[in-house]
Amino acid sequence: MKQTIKILQKVVKRKGSSKTLSFSMPHILKSIFHLSNQKYVSRSNFCKEIQLGEGAVKTLIGHMKEEGLVETIKSGTFLTKKGQKVAEKFYDAIPAQGFLKKCDITKGKFNYVIRIKKEFASNLGNGMQQRDYAILYGASDSLTLNHDKNEFFFIGDKMKCFDNESETKKDLIDKVNPNNGDVIIITSSDDKFVAEISAINTAIWTINN
């Protein structure tokens, strides 16, 4: 998996004397996820999906093309076979994600959840590092949980989460269908895009660790 993440790192590497890039690894991974669900993606759709200007998106696509992840034709941009394999690797590590309903345990209007397979659950500590990765991208709050026998526990202290929020617990199970030992990351923000991109950033670094 580390080798796959290195591909993302290559994509966001500055080329020669180019200016500082306005996109980073979570933007690339979100782009890969988005491309994997559509045959072709127009540049205007790209701009809307990853909330970057047209110039930045053009540069992003150019960097992805240099690494052999995408190609572009008149109909739009699409994943190459290499890009599809990278997408499959990440989907294997991150089998489910999506927006949750608003709940009392987080601070923001939007909550985004990512499920990470238990194989990547080592060295999580108390979850503070994951929180830092989320806040780096603007999240107002972040939770890192373990799942075990239909219960969710805070990382580090094994305290149950959602004891008094049965609807949230049900929404979470329905959304990501976790297995025992899986890691659940929830990031929160009043901005929908920030909630998602901060969760993706946290997931990348959790897997990489």
Tokens standing for residue 165: 């929020």
d(CA 88, CA 95): 10
pLDDT tens-place string over residues 47-74: 999 999 999 999 999 999 999 999 999 9
Residue 2: what pLDDT?
84
**How many other C-beta atoms can be found within 10 angstroms of the C-beta atom of residue 92?**
12
Which CATH code of 3.90.1530.10, 3.40.50.2300, 3.30.1360.30, 3.65.10.10 fits the domain covering 94-208?
A: 3.30.1360.30
Residue 50: what pLDDT?
93
d(CA 86, CA 207): 14
Helix (H, G, I), strand (E, B) or coil at 72: strand
Residues of the chain with CATH 1.10.10.10: 2-90
d(CA 83, CA 32): 7
The architecture in CATH of the region 2-90 reads: Orthogonal Bundle (1.10)
Q: Starting from the edge strand earliest in sequence, which strands make up the sheet with 160-161, in order?
A: 96-100, 110-116, 183-189, 141-148, 151-154, 160-161
Residues of the chain with CATH 3.30.1360.30: 94-208
pLDDT tens-place string over residues 146-175: 998 888 898 877 788 887 888 888 888 999
